[in-house]
Amino acid sequence: MNLKAQLLHIQAGGRNVAILDDASASYLGVHSSDRVKISYKNKHTVAIVNVAANFPRGSIGLYEEPAKKLGVEKEEDVKVELVTLPESLSYIQAKINNGRLRGNEIELIIRDVVEGHLSNIELASFLTALHIHGLSMDEVEALSRAMVKTGRTLSLGKKPILDKHSIGGIPGDKTSILVVPIIAAAGFTIPKTSSRAVTSAAGTADRVEALCPVSLSVEEIRKVVEKTNGCMVWGGALELAPADDIFIQIEYPLAIDPMLLPSIMSKKKAIGATHVVLDIPTGRGAKIKTMGEAEALAADFMDLGKRLGMNVQVGVTFGEQPLGNAVGPALEAREALSAIMGNCPPDLYEKATNLAGILLEMVGKKNGRQLAQEILKSGKAEQKLREIIEAQGGNPKVKAEDIAVGDKKAEVIADKDGEVLWITNEGIAKIAKEAGAPKDKGAGLLLKTKLGDHVKKGQAILEIVAERSTKLESAIELARKIQPIGLSKKPEDRMLMERIPTPVVHKKTFILDR
Amino acid sequence: MNLKAQLLHIQAGGRNVAILDDASASYLGVHSSDRVKISYKNKHTVAIVNVAANFPRGSIGLYEEPAKKLGVEKEEDVKVELVTLPESLSYIQAKINNGRLRGNEIELIIRDVVEGHLSNIELASFLTALHIHGLSMDEVEALSRAMVKTGRTLSLGKKPILDKHSIGGIPGDKTSILVVPIIAAAGFTIPKTSSRAVTSAAGTADRVEALCPVSLSVEEIRKVVEKTNGCMVWGGALELAPADDIFIQIEYPLAIDPMLLPSIMSKKKAIGATHVVLDIPTGRGAKIKTMGEAEALAADFMDLGKRLGMNVQVGVTFGEQPLGNAVGPALEAREALSAIMGNCPPDLYEKATNLAGILLEMVGKKNGRQLAQEILKSGKAEQKLREIIEAQGGNPKVKAEDIAVGDKKAEVIADKDGEVLWITNEGIAKIAKEAGAPKDKGAGLLLKTKLGDHVKKGQAILEIVAERSTKLESAIELARKIQPIGLSKKPEDRMLMERIPTPVVHKKTFILDR
């Protein structure tokens, strides 16, 4: 039937959606979630139908996605007909019922995800089924390949290409800002893409942005890497794996992350990585709690790497407290810059030189860790970082104190003597976010003490930094409530860890930053 | 922050949804699927956020649901602030991770479903998790109670209230149109609500609508039942279990039905039923394939009935072929009317009198089936049906031939002699739908032969009826392709049931009509 196109001028999150009124839907025999083929001039597109009782009769409402594909720019007649549901949906249904998916079936699903042919309902069900049933390594490989195939790639035309990635979850983890310059200074190519914070106080892209622009095009990245061997850019707009950007939207409210392996590894493949060191922070308060789990996940990453033609090695790192002392975009950038200039917190130094060392040994260097330490100590890493900053459009002469941080500050004071027995990652991240991070770039916090330190009553254990006083107030309030730093003389003096029911209920935070 | 409300004048399927542009979302620290509290004058509502890059800055787009709740009628300033995700979502997340849900947690979920506070993503994940993990009977009971609590109820102020329900899936099942008048004629109260077709060729509400109006209000239903002891109305607009109407929208594209028990039984409870006979059609081509499955499901229905204070008995019925000969709204209404007037196909007669008999025995009558047969044969059931038709606003003198059916007809002819070894329910339903049912009320088909019949080459085995010639043509074409009626002299003459790959691929149909 012919219907008048109504342009809604609203995006549907990449999904190809159209709205029909009850009467037209009934005439076409269409229910919500059915598909219609819409034709305009010599163009066609298939859209997911939403039936809305109050929509004007004889009209079809076009969200921006189908309107663009059809080239409809004003109210004009389009032809609308019912078509069968996409074949990919039958494979999603098979997965819901615990079926195994073949490579071509997975590719069809991923293509339809990227084309916007699958609805939020169908995507949510698919990801939930993957979360519950799990994925075979064949499925993981096929998903990774399909995600690369449907995205853009960066070909630098040389080998080896090195890369470093963390599965995330540790507040203050600015390791990449040290590792990338070390590797690049050693003469190897490392085109690092990072994400912004989704649920954390800062992503690596947010941290680097306090030093230089990070939203570069693929062409700009190529030039930066040609000049400096490395880069540190935001991967979000590069469309390396556009399917994953859609999956993240769905996973976020559900607090599930079944695509961890294909999500990370498809992006490594897309930038042409040949050698990847993967950081799996482990421990209470980290995504991965035990060494056993970390080893199993590491084996999967290495297997997947092999299947995709990449050499992957894993560093399982201590993840029971934040890394370094600073949390929040600008505060972390300051700390990273000071660190590379010689004033490095010991845990950050340990972690960065170990991971860089693994990468260097993977490409044939002897004593990788020692080499990394030398590059750091010699000032070559700092020089390389400044080259990269300049190539990406920042000020190569930037000093730590040039980086603006919030001027509203408050200290949290120890209420007794004791040793720091625990620091909860989740609590620290929450307080930094309450202070305004990552939106307020200069907000966050500074840890004045770390695990094992001995503190005296009245000593500052935390400094909260904010750009706005209201944010500072509510962060102080939150810190008081959740007490993220646990003090005791000896563990045996503090055997009661939690009293249930506690007067304060706070929910688990889901970490989705990759 | 204050934003200008933009009225979108579009319904979001009952969900409370609002649109923010990138910049406002980032300022508020909001991602898609987060929740914002919107305040206007002294009213507040919580809406699910969609972030759309192209939305005008400084505006918030309100779908009709939040606009109505706030009473915003034109572009005006509203206050928007980030709020935490609903508590119900944490219970959904628990179910995704195979947790058990408590009664109060389930009630909170169902309340938020009805209020539109959960997104399609969250609902799809919840239903998928229920489908995969299954539900405990405690959860089933809690879901049923919560669905009744959040809906309207019909209180007739008397006991017993009888009811009959089929889990569906059998084309041509017009049993209710006989059972309701039999029970009402026996002096018992039976306020029957039915659904329209979702995926089938006709629902009972579609069938009855060919005899009289079915869209009655609760008040009108009460009057009809007071006058006649019974009714046969469409349950869809009564809001007996509004949560279920939302679940069905989500289950439909996913082809899952985890809420079968609470969906059916909440509606029985809402109309105040005390005695329910439940029909479970069983066999190849039915929803339930084996007696074992049917018995397990029956036990669950009876257990749930007891928990909800209803006496439930189950009839497991032969479900390997359509019931009677007619399929399609008007054709079935004709057949039901003829049947109650004395010209009843034997399978329909058997089924209707057996199920009515069970109900009569449940309320203390002896020899229920015999009593049902007597009421049918005496003409009292016919008289009662005509009373109900009149009370609902139809013509009590209606004759079968008064009911309009399509005038485009074609017969499908046997291509050999043989016995009818199978008739596929799915194939028959597909052909009837291709002919135009249920949208074209007069479309459908007539079976000229049933299982076990002996047919001669050249004899008609199927008659297709349509209102439009194009529909007739495509239904004939489909019948030729899928051959829904299997003929052979003896099974041993036709051992090859299917050749794989077959040249024709047709997918399994999902039945969702309740």
* pLDDT tens by residue, A210-236: 999 999 999 999 999 999 999 999 998
Q: With a cut of 70, say whether residue A509 has pLDDT above it.
A: no
Give percent of chain B above pLDDT 90: 89
Distance from CA of B368 to the nearest CA of A (A): 41
Strand partners, A194: A234
Q: Could you say which of A53, A121, A127 has the minimum Cβ distance to residue B253?
A: A121
**Structure confidence at residue A27 as a pLDDT band (50, 70, 90):** confident
Q: What is the DSSP string of A334-369?
A: HHHHHHHTT---HHHHHHHHHHHHHHHHHTT-SSHH
CB atoms within 10 A of CB A238: 22
CB contact under 8 A, A253 and B124: no
The answer for A309, left when phi > 0, alpha when psi is -120 to 50, beta otherwise, is: left
| Mean pLDDT, residues B462-481 taken together | 95
Contact criterion met (CB below 8 Å) for A425 and A285 = yes
Chain B touched by A249 (CB under 8 Å): yes
Residue of A163, A257, A279, A300 with catalytic role: A257
**Contacts A250 to B, Cβ<8 Å:** 121
Q: Given strand A418-423, what is the order of strands in its sheet?
A: A454-455, A418-423, A485-488
What is the structure's pLDDT at A498?
Answer: 67
**Contacts B31 to A, Cβ<8 Å:** 198, 249, 252
CB atoms within 10 A of CB A395: 12
Q: With a cut of 70, say whether residue A497 has pLDDT above it.
A: no
Give CB contacts under 8 A, 24+ apart, made by A156-159. Answer: A156/A189, A156/A191, A156/A222, A156/A225, A156/A226, A156/A272, A158/A189, A159/A274
Distance from CA of A132 to the nearest CA of B (A): 7
Chain A touched by B124 (CB under 8 Å): yes
CB contact under 8 A, A55 and B10: yes
Distances from the Cα of A54 to the Cαs of A290, B6, B13, B196, B364, in angstroms? Answer: 54, 17, 11, 21, 49
What is the structure's pLDDT at B500?
Answer: 72
Rg (CA), chain A: 25
Distances from the Cα of B151 to the Cαs of B24, B73, B92, in angstroms? Answer: 37, 28, 21
CB contact under 8 A, B127 and A125: yes
Question: Residue B94: helix, strand or coil by DSSP?
Answer: helix
CA distance linking residue A488 with residue A75, whole number of Å:
71
**Contacts A33 to B, Cβ<8 Å:** 249, 252-253
The pLDDT tens digits for A240-285 are: 999 999 999 999 999 999 999 999 999 999 999 999 999 999 999 9
What is the structure's pLDDT at A158?
Answer: 92
Distance from the Cα of residue A407 to its chain's centroid: 29
Residue count of chain B: 514
**Structure confidence at residue B339 as a pLDDT band (50, 70, 90):** very high
Q: With a cut of 70, say whether residue B405 has pLDDT above it.
A: yes
| Mean pLDDT, residues A307-328 taken together | 97
ω into residue B346 within 30 of 0, thus cis?
no
Give φ, ψ of B319 to 5 degrees.
-120, 25
Q: With a cut of 60, say whether residue A505 has pLDDT above it.
A: no
Rg (CA), chain B: 25
| Mean pLDDT, residues A478-492 taken together | 87
CB atoms within 10 A of CB B458: 10
CA distance linking residue B400 with residue B333, whole number of Å:
8
**Structure confidence at residue B508 as a pLDDT band (50, 70, 90):** low
CB contact under 8 A, B129 and A128: yes
Contact criterion met (CB below 8 Å) for A65 and A12 = yes
CB contact under 8 A, A50 and B13: yes
The pLDDT tens digits for B12-25 are: 988 999 999 988 99
Q: With a cut of 90, say whether residue A501 has pLDDT above it.
A: no
Residue B492 DSSP code: G
CB contact under 8 A, A250 and B121: yes
What is the structure's pLDDT at B503?
Answer: 54
CB atoms within 10 A of CB A190: 29
CA distance linking residue A2 with residue B262, whole number of Å:
41
The lowest-confidence range among A28-32, A374-378, B409-413, B493-497 is B493-497
- Spatial neighbors of B505 by CB under 8 A, at least 6 apart, are none
Distance from the Cα of residue A210 to its chain's centroid: 18
Q: With a cut of 60, say whether residue A463 has pLDDT above it.
A: yes
What is the structure's pLDDT at B510?
Answer: 67
Q: How big, in percent rounded to 5, are the helix, strand and coil portions of chain A? A: 40, 20, 40
How many Cα atoms sit within 13 Å of A340 on the Cβ side?
26
Place of tokens 């044969």: B377
- Spatial neighbors of B195 by CB under 8 A, at least 6 apart, are B203, B204, B205, B234, B235, B236, B513, B514
Residue numbers of A between 367 and 386 with CB closer than 8 Å to B: none
Place of tokens 């307020």: A440
CA distance linking residue B239 with residue A373, whole number of Å:
70
Strand partners, B45: B38
Q: Could you say which of A19, A89, A128 has the minimum Cβ distance to residue B253?
A: A89
**Contacts B198 to A, Cβ<8 Å:** 31
CB contact under 8 A, B55 and A255: no
**Structure confidence at residue A38 as a pLDDT band (50, 70, 90):** very high
How many angstroms separate the first and last alpha carbons of chain B? 45
Q: With a cut of 80, say whether residue A484 has pLDDT above it.
A: yes
Burial class (CB in 10 A: 0-12, 13-18, 19+), B155: exposed
Contact criterion met (CB below 8 Å) for B18 and B38 = yes
Strands in B449-496 per DSSP E: 454-455, 460-466, 485-488
Burial class (CB in 10 A: 0-12, 13-18, 19+), B397: exposed
- Taking the CA atoms of B205, B208, B210 and B211 in sequence, report the sign of the dihedral they define: negative
| Mean pLDDT, residues A25-43 taken together | 92
pTM tops 0.90: yes
Q: Could you say which of A11, A27, A253 has the minimum Cβ distance to residue B33?
A: A253
How many angstroms separate the first and last alpha carbons of chain A? 45
Burial class (CB in 10 A: 0-12, 13-18, 19+), A374: middle
Residue of B257, B279, B300, B440 with catalytic role: B257
**Structure confidence at residue A507 as a pLDDT band (50, 70, 90):** low
What is the structure's pLDDT at B135?
Answer: 97
Residue of B nearest to A200 (CA): B29
| Mean pLDDT, residues A453-468 taken together | 96
- Spatial neighbors of B161 by CB under 8 A, at least 6 apart, are B189, B190, B191, B271, B272, B273, B274, B275
CA distance linking residue B376 with residue B380, whole number of Å:
6
Chain B touched by A149 (CB under 8 Å): no
Distance from CA of B113 to the nearest CA of A (A): 15
Distance from CA of B27 to the nearest CA of A (A): 7
| Mean pLDDT, residues B209-223 taken together | 96
**Structure confidence at residue A514 as a pLDDT band (50, 70, 90):** low
Longest dimension (CA), chain B: 79
Mean pLDDT of chain B: 94
Q: Given strand A408-413, what is the order of strands in its sheet?
A: A326-327, A444-447, A460-466, A408-413
Chain B touched by A119 (CB under 8 Å): yes
The pLDDT tens digits for A67-110 are: 999 999 999 999 999 998 999 999 999 999 999 999 999 999 99
Q: Which tokens is A114 given?
A: 């990227």
Q: With a cut of 70, say whether residue B482 has pLDDT above it.
A: yes
Pairing assessment for the beta strands B230-234 and B190-194 based on DSSP bridges: parallel
Mean pLDDT of chain A: 94
Longest dimension (CA), chain A: 79
Q: Report ipTM for this prediction.
A: 0.92
CA distance linking residue A436 with residue A466, whole number of Å:
6
Place of tokens 């002469």: A397
**Structure confidence at residue B5 as a pLDDT band (50, 70, 90):** very high
- Taking the CA atoms of A451, A452, A453 and A456 in sequence, report the sign of the dihedral they define: positive
Q: With a cut of 90, say whether residue B345 has pLDDT above it.
A: yes
**Structure confidence at residue A473 as a pLDDT band (50, 70, 90):** very high
| Mean pLDDT, residues A58-66 taken together | 95
Chain B touched by A474 (CB under 8 Å): no
Q: With a cut of 90, say whether residue B496 has pLDDT above it.
A: no
User: Is residue B257 among the annotated active site residues?
Assistant: yes
CB contact under 8 A, A32 and B252: yes
CA distance linking residue B50 with residue B61, whole number of Å:
9
**Structure confidence at residue B402 as a pLDDT band (50, 70, 90):** very high
B303-336 burial string, b = 16+ CB within 10 Å, else e? ebbebbebbbbbbbbebbbbbbbbbbbbbbbbbb
Strands in B30-141 per DSSP E: 35-40, 43-51, 59-62, 77-83
What is the structure's pLDDT at A488?
Answer: 84
CB contact under 8 A, B124 and A124: yes
**Structure confidence at residue B198 as a pLDDT band (50, 70, 90):** confident
Give φ, ψ of A155 to 5 degrees.
-105, 115
- Taking the CA atoms of B466, B469, B475 and B479 in sequence, report the sign of the dihedral they define: positive
CB contact under 8 A, A10 and B131: no
Distance from CA of B104 to the nearest CA of A (A): 17
Give φ, ψ of B230 to 5 degrees.
-145, 175
Residue of A nearest to B246 (CA): A32
The pLDDT tens digits for A391-447 are: 999 999 999 999 999 999 999 999 989 999 999 999 999 999 999 999 999 999 999
Q: What is the DSSP string of B149-167?
A: HTS-----S-S-BEEEEE-
Residue numbers of B between 252 and 291 with CB closer than 8 Å to A: 252-256
CB contact under 8 A, A9 and B54: yes
Q: With a cut of 70, say whether residue B497 has pLDDT above it.
A: no
Q: With a cut of 60, say whether residue B180 has pLDDT above it.
A: yes
CB atoms within 10 A of CB A257: 21
**Structure confidence at residue A496 as a pLDDT band (50, 70, 90):** confident
**Contacts B85 to A, Cβ<8 Å:** 253
The answer for A19, left when phi > 0, alpha when psi is -120 to 50, beta otherwise, is: beta
Chain B touched by A133 (CB under 8 Å): yes
CB contact under 8 A, A254 and B50: no
**Structure confidence at residue B173 as a pLDDT band (50, 70, 90):** very high
Contact criterion met (CB below 8 Å) for B199 and B512 = yes
Residue numbers of B between 446 and 465 with CB closer than 8 Å to A: none
CB contact under 8 A, B132 and A13: no
Q: With a cut of 60, say whether residue B418 has pLDDT above it.
A: yes
Residue of A nearest to B87 (CA): A507
The pLDDT tens digits for B363-392 are: 999 999 999 999 999 999 999 999 999 999
Residue of B nearest to A14 (CA): B52
